[in-house]
Chains A and B, each alone.
Chain A
Amino acid sequence: GAGVSQSPSNKVTEKGKDVELRCDPISGHTALYWYRQSLGQGLEFLIYFQGNSAPDKSGLPSDRFSAERTGGSVSTLTIQRTQQEDSAVYLCASSSRTSGRYVSYNEQFFGPGTRLTVL
């Protein structure tokens, strides 16, 4: 079956512009995550969606970052007024609904990422 897909694969933008990054999770997966991978650093958690629950936004670095998930499926990560430090690879992952208390029990399946370059 199809894995997690992300678009665009590459995005070059000018400082100050807004960008939208899209993630299509695996069909049936109710949990969706966004991470950021900066050069020389590990993956940084940004936001988590689970079904119809309020998202966990604790990882968003500033109020310029926002994300939504429509219909419990596709998600869009929006960065407003982009800065050069926003340049990174943005990764999306999805997982099936946890049967217990611990989300981390279920394997997260990652998309190939969107490489964002802010000039």
Chain B
Amino acid sequence: AQSVTQLDSQVPVFEEAPVELRCNYSSSVSVYLFWYVQYPNQGLQLLLKYLSGSTLVKGINGFEAEFNKSQTSFHLRKPSVHISDTAEYFCAVSVAGANNLFFGTGTRLTVIP
């Protein structure tokens, strides 16, 4: 069975500081990994995804994530956050042949002016 763990439910960070949102997954087969962002009162939007190839994936709004197979992690990073990055971030995993995504519980990023 697949599962996703986001250890940090809330992450406050000052504007222009770097941030890392952690995501670990559990799966016995190869996985595809995703980060979604949910801005207040909006639907989920794809930030980036890892399917294969380079383990460093770049997404929208300056975010990037690195797939680490040995540590079963897919942490999300941004070198300098903006107020507009305040949102809920969800890590998700899917496996070959699956019809759905398995989501983590989300991390609420709050950027402090």
Cα–Cα, bound, A33→B99 (Å): 9
A104-B94, A112-B41 given as contacts; is B32 within 8 A of A42 (CB)?
Answer: no
Pick the contact of A33: B9, B95, B100 (CB < 8 A).
Answer: B100
Q: Is A56 an interface residue (CB 8 A)?
A: yes
Cα–Cα, bound, A109→B34 (Å): 13
Contact between B98 and A103 (Cβ–Cβ < 8 Å)? yes
Pick the contact of B42: A44, A105, A107, A112 (CB < 8 A).
Answer: A112
Distance from A31 Cβ to chain B, minimum over Cβ atoms (Å): 8
Cα–Cα, bound, A51→B6 (Å): 33
Cα–Cα, bound, A3→B43 (Å): 10
A56-B99, A101-B96 given as contacts; is B106 within 8 A of A42 (CB)?
Answer: yes
Contact between B45 and A108 (Cβ–Cβ < 8 Å)? no
Cα–Cα, bound, A91→B99 (Å): 16
Contacts of B45 in A (CB 8 A): 110
Cα–Cα, bound, A101→B30 (Å): 14
Q: Is A70 an interface residue (CB 8 A)?
A: no
Contact string against A for B residues 40-68, beta-carbon threshold 8 Å, 1 for contact and 0 otherwise: 01111110010100000000000000000
Contact between A45 and B105 (Cβ–Cβ < 8 Å)? no
B-side interface residues, number (CB < 8 Å): 28
Contacts of B51 in A (CB 8 A): 105
A-side interface residues, number (CB < 8 Å): 28
Nearest-CB residue, chain B, relative to A111: B43
Chain A residues packing against B (C-beta within 8 Å): 3-4, 33, 35, 40-45, 48, 50, 56, 59, 91, 93, 101-105, 107-113
Top 6 closest pairs, chain A to chain B, by CB: A104-B94, A42-B103, A45-B100, A110-B43, A43-B103, A110-B44
* Selected A-B contacts with CB under 8 Å, 30 pairs: A3-B43, A4-B43, A33-B100, A40-B9, A42-B4, A42-B6, A42-B103, A42-B104, A43-B44, A43-B101, A43-B103, A44-B103, A45-B100, A45-B101, A56-B99, A56-B100, A102-B94, A102-B96, A102-B97, A103-B99, A103-B100, A104-B32, A104-B94, A104-B98, A105-B32, A107-B46, A108-B46, A110-B36, A110-B44, A113-B43
